[in-house]
Structure 1
Amino acid sequence: MASPATLQSALLLQKQLKELSKHPVEGFSAGLVDNENIYEWEIMIIGPPDTLYEGGFFKARMSFPKDYPLMPPKLRFISEMWHPNVYPDGEVCISILHPPGEDKYGYEDAGERWMPVHTVETILLSVISMLSTPNDESPANIEAAKDWREDYPAFKKKVQRIVRRSADML
């Protein structure tokens, strides 16, 4: 039998999924990977207009912990991604997906980290914003951040190639 916390998180996720189905948000779509598992979502992020990622269609997977919303989900791009804030394995590294509380390295303020008020919508809007404005101060992908800073034309060329490939995958 599921714990009360697990039941609560499942109900909250069902509510958020239903809300996104009724009122889609521009820039992404979300659904379940498998109708039997509310904790695994398939996401499609559309490259934001006026960014290098414009025209791209990027698949991602969002995995929620059983103690959601107390703890954040993980978001990982399945599609190829070249970005300073995305690890080479596709995992997204942004403040609101970091566990709540003080940052042991002192880099992030507790107010920038995960809070239970965040929803799938606020997370994905943050990811779309991240695509528009990378944070190269604390990169997850050192090579991408180095390209971004030191060889922007090479960075741009790699992203354009990924965007073209993503559109071909549809």
Structure 2
Amino acid sequence: MGSQKRIAKELAELVESPPAGITVNLADEANLYEWKVLMDGPEGSPYHKGKFQIKLVLPTEYPFKPPTVSFATKIYHPNVTNDDKGSMCLGMLRPDEWKPSSKIGAVLEFARQLLSEPMPDDAIEGRIAEQYKNDRKHFDEVARDWTRKHAS
């Protein structure tokens, strides 16, 4: 039962005072373990003016196991799978790097930070990472285009 208490507390904190550019709600009022997060594309990034829906699923073993974070909105990004799953590759969410003291708010802030500063060396989409490193102008154009198409 401890995990439900902790999740409810973190949810209440995030609903009340969410990090900048982030809105948090339960995907379904009856399920504390699945959250619907809306994230604004950060200013100065090719995702600016986009609204991205993120699905955050908490394991019943939370906080001892990390949440799963995925983009429900298609996004052109080296750290997010370019498929229907939209899985996000975040170092801090790897089972071997996750710390029970980590908070969901920090995970979401880190995810938003990744929109401003992708980590091509920790990429899940190699082709996009290469483009980000070698042809930033074209990367920005495609990312902006996808944002207009999918995230408005």
TM-score band, normalised by shorter chain: over 0.9
Higher relative strand content: 2
CA distance in 2, matches of 1:24, 1:60: 14
Q: Which runs of 5+ in 2 are unaligned?
A: none
AA aligned opposite 1:85: N
- 1:1-170 correspondence to structure 2 within 5 Å: 7-89=1-83, 90-100=86-96, 113-168=97-152
The C-alpha deviation readout for 1:28-85, integer Å capped at 9, x for no partner, is 1111111111111101111111112111100010011110000100100010111111
CA distance in 2, matches of 1:129, 1:65: 24
Q: Which runs of 5+ in 1 are unaligned?
A: 1-6, 101-112
Percent of pairs with identical residues: 29
CA distance in 1, matches of 2:40, 2:21: 5
**Larger C-alpha radius of gyration, 1 or 2?**
1
The C-alpha deviation readout for 1:107-146, integer Å capped at 9, x for no partner, is xxxxxx2111111110011011111111111210112112
SS of residue matched to 2:32: coil
Under a length normalisation based on structure 2, what TM-score does the superposition of the two structures give? 0.93
AA aligned opposite 2:20: E
